[in-house]
Structures are given as C-alpha cells and as structure tokens.
C-alpha cells in the first residue's frame, strides 16, 4: 500500500467553507492513518516548498472560520517552465502520494492539466461563491454569499422606502448571475440584472414608473457585476465598458445603471456595492456541511485511486466526475430559474 502523504492546497479567490474542506480531508485521511500536509498560498506553496503538516489539533474547530488557513493565490504553475521542475522536486521531497486541489474554474483547470499533461495523481474540490462550475450542482461558498447578499438587500428596502428612492445593489458573479438571482428572489428585489440576459434599461424605468403609479416609488434593483445592456439599448461608452468588464476585476455597472435610471425616470437612485463582504466570514451550515462532505470524498477518491476527477454534488449525493469535463466552460443560470424570478419584477 502507498504510504505517502496527501497534499492539499487552496487556490484562486477565497470563499467560506475552505477550512471545512481542509478539516474534512485531514479527519478522513487520519481515519486511515494517512497524514496530510498543506501547501501554502495555492500552487505557490508547491513551487517554493512552503508546506505545513496538518494534524487533528491544527484543524480542530476551523470549519467555523472564513478564508483559508493555508492562504491562497492565483499563481499558475504553467506560467514558468521552471515551476514544473520545482514541483517535481517538492513532490518527491515531501513524499506526496496525491494532491487535493480546492479551487474554482481557474485552479481546477490547472489541476486537470497537472493530471492529464504531467501525470500527477490529483483530485479536485469545487469552491466558488459564483456557483459557476459546470460539473457540480452547487459549489460551497455560494449559499453563504447568497445569504450575505440577501441580508443586505433586506436592509436596503427600509432605506429605499423611507427616501422613496431606487437602491441599486451590485453583487458578485463573474460571468454568471447565480448570486444576483438567488439573493434577488430571497430579498424581494424589484428587478434583477444578470449576465445571461442582456437588460433593457427602458423596461426597468417603465417598471419603476408603474410601481410609482401603484404608490410604491421605492425600488430595489440587483445587478450582477457582469450584467450587460441589450445592444439595442446600449447606454455605455466603450471606455465605460473597458473599465467595468475587466477579466481580472469586474465592477462599476451598478453606478452606471443607477445614473441612467435617475436620468431617464427622474427618481433619485443610490448604489451599494457589496464586494468582498460576500466572500468573507464564517460559512453557513449548508456550506460547512457541503465542504466537509467534499473533503471526505476527496480522500476517498485518493484511497480508491480515482485521480483526475472532482468531487461534486449531484442532487443530494456527493459523487465524482471527470475534472476535465467538470471545468469545461461555465455553468450559466438556468433560463427557467430567471423566468421564475421575472414574475416578481415590478
């Protein structure tokens, strides 16, 4: 039997639940007397040999904490060919039998390449508040982010109502509108703008005018950071688009939507950008449980030699799926889900 250690790293943007995965991996591995080491700051730790042993004691109680005790980075081990040489050395030096990679689309795509092109025994665990990884029904972190956004929307209702204003709230979601749609429904938004459905600003202002006619001059508009106007009603300049839709960091559409609503409708509008609050802090119960189950499953995949695969939620079961397929493209918001949300617009 292979007696090497299991390595684990967390890569990409942090998200609530990463520590619960780490604890799940360590506890499941120890149950089979397998030891675990953590590489610090994503792939960076594997390249530089920045490693720490993870023990039952060092992971005790961490499932309640946000962020990741291992740190994270967006380091790409394929960016510099020398990194692969260093990884091979460190892999041997630390006696690694398999690597658990916890990440979003970017980190898991790299994990898939490490498995397929370099032949490493790697298993993946999907994390992201965006919930945009195709191979899994849910990624952990999403539920907590939705709750944070929902609480914020709920708070904005009272200030919007008091001032008879439109409150625009910009939420995260690079490429997809999962957070916006879920939090928008849960928080009773009057309009939800998502990247999957180009929005018509005239439809928003008409709806707001109708609401005013009904004696409800205040409104809540939830905007996903990557939402885009319909080409027929594009009110953004090229410069504005270049500054909002940057691949490395999106942001700013909320401000411009609010300004356009105010200009067209005459109703005062204000903006709240929720930002990193959605990613910080303690995971909720759902994410703690999902992350823990993913951690346990990842070790079982290692013990069964199921490499190049990713733990995934299918319905209520945790299964494993081929990593390469699981990270192919993005999982977009279900159109039917958005149609249901639209019933409540206005």
User: Length of the chain in residues, anyone?
Assistant: 346
How many residues interact with ligand F6P (rule CB under 6 A)?
12
For ligand F6P, the closer CB: 91 or 178: 178
247 in contact with ligand F6P (CB under 6 A): no
Positive or negative, the CA dihedral 319, 74, 41, 115 is positive
CB 125 within 8 A of CB 107: no
Work out how close the CB of 239 gets to ligand F6P at its nearest, in angstroms, rounded to a whole number.
Answer: 20
Residue 4 Cβ vs ligand F6P, minimum distance, rounded to whole Å: 32
Residue 122 · residue 136 · CB < 8 Å: no
Closest CB to ligand F6P among 225 and 287? 225
Closest approach, Cβ 179 to ligand F6P, in A, equals: 7
Decide the pairing of beta strands 166-171 and 51-54.
unpaired
Stretch that binds ligand F6P, among 75-83, 126-134, 196-204, 297-305 (CB under 6 A): 126-134
Catalytic annotation present for 132: no
Span from 150-158, 167-175, 262-270, 321-329 in contact with ligand F6P (CB under 6 A): 167-175
Alpha-helix runs per DSSP H in 49-141: 81-93, 105-116
Report DSSP letters for 303-322, one per residue.
Answer: HTT--SEEEEEETTEEEEEE
Helix (H), strand (E) counts: the chain: 12, 11
Residues 6+ apart with CB under 8 A from 109: 327
> How far is it between the farthest Cα atoms of the chain?
74
> Given candidates 57, 249, 285, 315, which one binds ligand F6P under the rule CB under 6 A?
249
The one among 16, 38, 77, 173 contacting ligand F6P by CB under 6 A: 173
Residue whose Cβ sits closest to ligand F6P: 172
Contact positions with ligand F6P (CB under 6 A) in 45-84: none
CB of 238 to ligand F6P, least distance (A): 21
Q: Which of 2, 14, 76, 130 is catalytic?
A: 130
**Helix H or strand E encompassing 170:** strand 166-171
Neighbours of 307 (CB within 10 A): 17
Residue 221: which H helix or E strand, with range?
Answer: strand 219-224
Strand (E) or helix (H) holding 160? helix 142-163
Report the alpha-carbon distance of residue 340 to residue 82 in Å, rounded.
51
| Residue 121 lies near ligand F6P (rule: CB under 6 A) | no
User: What tokens does 209 get?
Assistant: 């005018």
Residue 103 or 121: which CB sits closer to ligand F6P? 103
Applying CB under 6 A, among 5, 27, 127, 174 the residue interacting with ligand F6P is 174
- Position among 8, 152, 250, 261 found at the interface with ligand F6P (CB under 6 A): 250
Distance of CA 160 to the CA centre of its chain: 28
Kindly tell me which of 34 and 244 has the beta carbon lying closer to ligand F6P. 244
Q: How far is the CB of 6 from ligand F6P (least distance, A)?
A: 26
Minimal distance in Å, beta carbon 173 to ligand F6P? 5
Chain-centroid distance of CA 292 in Å reads 17
Instruction: Pick the binder of ligand F6P from 11, 104, 124, 126 (CB under 6 A).
Output: 104
List residues near ligand F6P by CB under 6 A.
13, 104, 128-130, 172-174, 225, 249-250, 279
Residues marked active site are found at 130
């Amino acid at each position: 039997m292979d007696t090497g250690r299991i390595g684990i790293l967390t890569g990409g943007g942090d998200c609530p639940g990463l520590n619960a995965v780490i604890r799940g991996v360590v506890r499941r591995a120890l149950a089979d007397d397998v030891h675990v080491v953590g590489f610090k700051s994503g792939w960076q730790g594997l390249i530089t040999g920045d490693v720490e042993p993870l023990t039952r004691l060092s992971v005790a109680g961490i499932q309640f904490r946000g962020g990741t005790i291992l740190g994270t980075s967006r380091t790409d081990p394929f960016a510099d060919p020398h990194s692969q040489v260093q990884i091979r050395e460190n892999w041997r030096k630390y006696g690694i039998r398999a690597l658990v990679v916890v990440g979003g689309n970017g980190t898991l795509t790299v994990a898939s390449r490490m498995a397929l092109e370099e032949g490493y025994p790697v298993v993946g665990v999907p994390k992201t508040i965006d919930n945009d990884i195709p191979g899994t029904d849910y990624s952990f972190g999403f539920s907590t982010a939705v709750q944070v956004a929902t609480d914020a929307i709920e708070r904005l209702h009272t200030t919007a109502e008091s001032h008879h204003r439109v409150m625009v709230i910009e939420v995260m979601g690079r490429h997809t509108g999962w957070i916006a749609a879920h939090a928008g429904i849960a928080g009773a938004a009057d309009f939800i703008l998502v990247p999957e459905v180009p929005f018509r600003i005239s439809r928003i202002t008409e709806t707001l005018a109708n609401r005013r006619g009904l004696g409800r001059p205040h409104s809540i508009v939830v905007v996903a950071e990557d939402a885009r106007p319909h080409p027929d009603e594009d009110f953004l300049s090229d410069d504005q688009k270049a500054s909002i839709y940057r691949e490395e960091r999106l942001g700013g559409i909320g401000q411009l939507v609010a300004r356009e609503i105010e200009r067209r409708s005459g109703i005062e509008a204000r903006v709240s950008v929720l930002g990193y609050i959605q990613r910080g802090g303690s995971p909720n119960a759902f994410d703690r449980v999902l992350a823990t189950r993913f951690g346990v499953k990842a070790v079982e995949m290692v013990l069964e030699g199921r490499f190049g695969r990713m733990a995934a939620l299918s319905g209520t079961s945790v299964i494993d799926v081929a990593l390469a397929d699981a990270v192919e493209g993005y999982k977009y918001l279900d159109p039917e889900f958005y149609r249901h949300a639209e019933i409540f617009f206005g």
